[in-house]
């Protein structure tokens, strides 16, 4: 955004030059200094500046000018720049007139000529006025704007992608912001084709895919090389840790993630039991820090979805959703888990239109002063309930069990119990959902029987399912889809293909393919545990590479 403007006006060229030089010396780093030699020239320039959406912070005008006095000029700029500060520069003989004009022309201050030294007679006054202007000025938003209805699954997906990747945007719901439709008409875009993303450079994406968004906002969607020592699939805590240790130890490391660094943990509104952060931090912040760390150490990140892994001798070929492939010596699978889908009438129909899996960060502001339902009894549900309590009028936390203590950390239970607008309902489950274009009501099975309540937003945090349906059959999984590795292969009766050695601790049934984090069979579903496994996996990668 261009610098705000300080506008000096005086018909005396020598005085005008002195004013401009003093302004530039003190304020040139943060403001643009422009000049005009008459009141009319200043008005003409103001009109042009306004058409270009430039901002004037302060007018400094001489009083005695031919054709238009300083008071007249400062009165006439008010409709053009009503928030700008207006200062009159006068000779001693005009002091009384300047004082009378302060009320009539709404002048903020007057200064006497000469103003030497400016450090005493000019800068203190102008600095106070500019500080006051900055406090009241709200810069026009020039970043990304997302136009889409609240109850649209595709709109939710776009906003969730941007939020998870920490890309600032302004959301315009056409039902609440009619001006959004005007923005679409200016671009010649059909308002039936929502969501639409408008960018600061004047371009737009209509109903975009996440790959299109990633490419436009500067996320890498194509690998820089064709071959890597290790390709990490998934950028949750385990994948990020592997990226940090792999890159720091000299391995050519590629981390592939379809959504955003942080994985499921990245959607947690608050993690308070992670070692070294006594005040807690959001999963989003943890993901960002780990991403920056891995990137600084040399790991390459790719916003893509892996659709297949196949072997060719000692090499592993990783195929992306767009059809491109990369080759590597070692592949580490750290795709984590996703929340289990709720299998009740209406759940599928309203997914993204009032029913959300995770998404506490994305939808919290949209739920301001509403009644929100959170389903689940583990830490992720408790963290979400605490986060929503800052925005919603009431948060109902529905738990199938008879208490929170069975699945939730004690510190979180204490926080929930001390939060007035969170209502915990135990021995309660949701059995049906209803509504028109979006969720409008839920049916609950409570200890007192079934009851139907009005509801517009339900957030689900129940169970976890692995993301392994894309894997080749050669990679063994248990009956729930979690990947078997190391000693668990023998326990499950799976034959490791190499005869000269046993699989390494985190090695799958395919030599050179490792697994870490929540997607592994028997893993501890904790953030710190996933980080540990991702770190340890790199040590086994080195051992494997030494055998090639």
Q: What is the 3-state secondary structure (H, E, C) of 84-127?
A: CEEEEEECHHHHHHHHHHHHHCCCCEEEECCCCCHHHHCHHHHH
Judge contact between 474 and 510, C-beta under 8 A.
Answer: yes
- CA-based R_g, the chain, Å: 31
Judge contact between 156 and 356, C-beta under 8 A.
Answer: yes
Judge contact between 208 and 202, C-beta under 8 A.
Answer: no
Q: What is the pLDDT of residue 359?
A: 66
Q: What is the pLDDT of residue 140?
A: 63
Position 296 confidence tier, pLDDT thresholds 50, 70, 90: very high
Which residue segments constitute the domains of the chain, with CATH numbers given? Answer: 5-136 (3.40.50.2300), 144-217 (3.40.30.10), 227-338+465-546 (3.50.50.60), 355-462 (3.50.50.60)
Judge contact between 24 and 54, C-beta under 8 A.
Answer: no
Q: What angle do CA 248, 165, 524 make, to 5 degrees?
A: 60
Q: What is the pLDDT of residues 358-409, one digit of tens each?
A: 766 778 888 889 999 999 998 889 989 999 999 999 999 999 999 998 889 8
Q: What is the share, in percent, of the chain residues with pLDDT greater than 90?
A: 63
Position 340 confidence tier, pLDDT thresholds 50, 70, 90: confident
**Angle of helix 237-248 versus helix 527-546 axis, rounded to 10:** 40
Asked if residue 89 has pLDDT above 70, the reply is yes
Sheet holding 429-435: strands in order across? 429-435, 439-446, 449-454
Q: What is the pLDDT of residue 283?
A: 79
Q: What is the pLDDT of residue 92?
A: 65
Question: What's the DSSP call for residue 495?
Answer: P
Report the distance separating Cα 312 and Cα 44, nearest Å.
72
Phi first, then psi, for residue 150 (nearest 5°) are -60, -40
Q: What is the pLDDT of residues 90-146, one digit of tens each?
A: 876 566 766 666 666 678 888 888 888 889 889 999 999 998 898 877 766 668 999
Cβ burial, residue 389 (10 Å; 0-12/13-18/19+)? buried
Q: What angle do CA 363, 365, 366 make, to 5 degrees?
A: 65
Q: Which two tokens stand for residue 372?
A: 């929100």
Q: What is the pLDDT of residues 429-457, one digit of tens each?
A: 999 999 998 999 999 999 999 999 999 99
pLDDT mean over 25-36: 94
Judge contact between 148 and 195, C-beta under 8 A.
Answer: yes
* Cβ-based neighbours of 176, under 8 Å, separated by 6 or more: none
Judge contact between 517 and 236, C-beta under 8 A.
Answer: yes
163 or 24, higher pLDDT: 24
Q: What is the pLDDT of residues 472-526, one digit of tens each?
A: 999 999 999 999 999 999 998 999 999 999 999 999 999 999 999 999 999 988 8
Asked if residue 303 has pLDDT above 70, the reply is yes
């Amino acid at each position: 955004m261009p610098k705000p403007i300080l506008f000096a006006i005086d018909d005396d060229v020598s005085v005008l030059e002195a004013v401009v030089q003093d302004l530039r010396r003190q304020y040139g780093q943060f403001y643009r200094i422009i000049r005009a030699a008459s009141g009319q020239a200043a008005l003409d320039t103001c009109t042009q500046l306004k058409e270009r959406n430039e901002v004037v912070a302060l007018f400094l005008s001489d009083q005695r000018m031919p054709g238009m006095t300083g008071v007249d000029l400062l009165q006439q700029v008010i409709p053009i720049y009503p928030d700008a500060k207006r200062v009159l520069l006068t000779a001693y003989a005009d002091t009384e007139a300047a004082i009378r004009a302060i009320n009539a022309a709404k002048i903020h201050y007057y200064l006497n000529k000469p103003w030497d030294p400016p450090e005493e007679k000019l800068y203190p006054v102008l600095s106070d006025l500019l500080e006051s202007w900055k406090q009241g000025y709200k810069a026009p938003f020039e970043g990304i704007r997302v136009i889409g209805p609240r109850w649209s699954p595709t709109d939710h997906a776009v906003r969730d992608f941007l939020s998870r990747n920490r890309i600032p945007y302004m959301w315009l719901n056409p039902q609440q912001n009619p001006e959004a439709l005007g923005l679409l008409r200016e671009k010649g875009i059909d308002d039936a084709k929502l969501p639409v993303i408008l960018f600061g450079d004047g371009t737009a994406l209509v109903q975009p895919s996440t790959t299109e968004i990633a490419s436009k906002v500067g996320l890498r969607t194509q690998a820089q090389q064709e071959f890597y020592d290790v390709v990490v699939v998934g950028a949750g805590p385990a994948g990020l840790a592997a990226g940090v240790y792999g890159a720091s130890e000299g391995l050519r490391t590629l981390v592939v993630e379809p959504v955003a660094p942080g994985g499921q943990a990245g959607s947690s509104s608050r993690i308070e039991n992670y070692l070294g952060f006594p005040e807690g931090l959001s999963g989003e912040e943890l993901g960002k820090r780990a991403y920056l760390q891995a990137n600084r150490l040399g790991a390459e990140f790719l916003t893509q979805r892996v659709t297949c892994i196949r072997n060719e001798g000692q090499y592993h070929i990783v195929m992306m959703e767009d059809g491109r492939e990369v080759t590597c010596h070692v592949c580490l699978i750290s795709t984590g888990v996703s929340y289990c889908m709720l299998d009740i009438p209406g759940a599928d129909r309203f997914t993204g239109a009032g029913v959300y899996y995770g998404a506490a960060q994305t939808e919290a502001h949209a739920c301001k002063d509403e009644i929100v339902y959170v389903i689940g009894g583990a830490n992720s549900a408790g963290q979400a309930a605490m986060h929503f309590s800052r925005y919603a009028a009431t948060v109902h936390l529905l738990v199938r069990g008879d208490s929170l203590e069975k699945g939730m950390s004690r510190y979180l239970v204490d926080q929930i119990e001390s939060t007035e607008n969170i209502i915990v309902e135990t021995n309660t489950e949701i059995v049906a959902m209803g509504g028109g274009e979006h969720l409008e009501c839920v049916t609950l099975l409570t200890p007192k029987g079934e009851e139907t309540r009005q509801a517009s937003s339900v957030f689900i945090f129940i169970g976890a399912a692995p993301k392994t349906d894309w894997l080749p059959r050669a990679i063994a999984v248990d009956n729930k889809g979690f990947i078997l590795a190391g000693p668990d292969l023998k326990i499950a009766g799976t034959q490791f293909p190499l005869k000269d050695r046993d699989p390494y601790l985190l090695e799958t049934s395919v030599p050179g393919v490792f697994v870490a984090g929540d997607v592994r069979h028997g893993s501890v579903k904790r953030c710190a545990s996933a980080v540990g496994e991702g770190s340890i996996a790199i040590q086994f990668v080195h051992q494997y590479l030494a055998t090639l």
